[in-house]
Amino acid sequence: MPWKNGQGTTHEIALCTDPDDGPSGTFVWRLSIAAVDLASPFSRFPHIDRTILLLSGAGMVLDSGPHGRHVLAQPFAPYAFAGDWTTDCTLIDGPCRDFNVMVDRRRATACVTVLPLDAERGATWPVPVCDAWALFALDADLRIAASGDPADGTSSDTAPWPLPVGATLLGQDDDGVACPRALHVRSAGGTPHAHALAITFARHVPAASDPA
């Protein structure tokens, strides 16, 4: 789909909305991959906190005026900024692609973590209690197994799920309880220096109304 400002294109991976959002274009959280082919301003998203990671290409320089200037040139290094800011993008050396995490700060928070995978042992991600989580295969095909909680008799690992490079595994629980308790992530082919991107979203609990 085109960017909100029409200056680029985005591949939307997942979107969480509330019934009240309707056709307004607002959302609770969103995951996407953007192709940045030209120097241009970023779209403004009021009330949205953003985190982006460089996936491919030489990168870009993000100039947010009084909020500072950031060089996004290291792959898989998260950079967080406010969607409310006026941010201009200049390409360092040609087109690039980036992964985007967006969350409405009035309704939820996001936590973004890059997991380096040991070639032999992979990595274990303890999934915190959250409303939704995602794993993205950054640079290698992955195998993922889940563990439950020994206290409730769900400690056995699942059969590994394949997650091709560039694909996303999503999990969501309506009760806000993260299950599985942990995800064991490893490279499908033992690729050295592989990485996975782990994201969690937690909804804000509405404040109780004052008694009348």
Any idea where the domains of the chain sit in the sequence?
9-106, 109-203
- Note the pLDDT of residue 207: 55
How many Å apart are CA 54 and CA 89, to the nearest integer? 13
Q: Note if the bond before 180 is cis, omega within 30 degrees.
A: yes
Residue 71 tokens, joined: 């060089």
- Note the pLDDT of residue 74: 95
Nearest-5° angle of CA 183, CA 194, CA 178? Answer: 20
DSSP of 153-165, one letter per residue? T--SPPPPEEE-T
Any idea what DSSP says for residue 75? B
Residue 37 tokens, joined: 């082919």
The CATH fold of domain 109-203: Jelly Rolls (2.60.120)
- Note the pLDDT of residue 19: 83
Residue-wise pLDDT for 57-86, tens only, equals 999 999 999 999 999 999 999 999 999 999
Whether 9-106 shares its CATH topology with 109-203 is answered yes
Please tell me the class of the 9-106 domain. Answer: mainly beta
Residue ranges of the chain with pLDDT lower than 50? 149-155, 176, 209-212
